[in-house]
Amino acid sequence: MEVCHQIDDRLSIADIYRTKSIIERKLNNYTLAESYLQSSLRLNVKMKNTLNVAETSYELASLYGDLNRQDEKQKYLREALTRYREVQVEEQVQKIEEHLALSAS
């Protein structure tokens, strides 16, 4: 992380935040996991990295699902779906559409 800050590599910083969030989630540190994901999302949006925005949004949806925060889960699933469609990652589009269809039932 330190090296990324020194060279101002924001995309790598965003990836590190996302990775740290996954670790914190596994350790049940949900507040910290959410904070890292929100930081990652902000950086990726600022850098206009559509694929990383999709991936981070999907991670946020998963986290909110674990926390039973359904409105936020749906919001980030829809965001991930939109972004995955933009970059034409059809496998993820189908997966998210299935999640959304199951939620609607």
Provide the pLDDT for residue 9: 66
8-18: pLDDT as tens digits: 768 788 989 99
Closest CA to 39 of 56, 62, 64: 56
Could you identify the residue written with the tokens 């469609």? 85
| Whether pLDDT at 91 is above 70 | yes
The domain made up of 2-104 has a fold known as 1.25.40
The whole model's pTM is what? 0.90
- Residue written as tokens 């910083």? 13
Domain range summary for the chain, segments of one domain joined by +? 2-104
Amino acid at 92: Q
Give the pLDDT band of residue 6 (cuts 50, 70, 90). confident
Given this model, what pLDDT does residue 105 score? 63
Residue that wins the pLDDT comparison between 103 and 30: 30
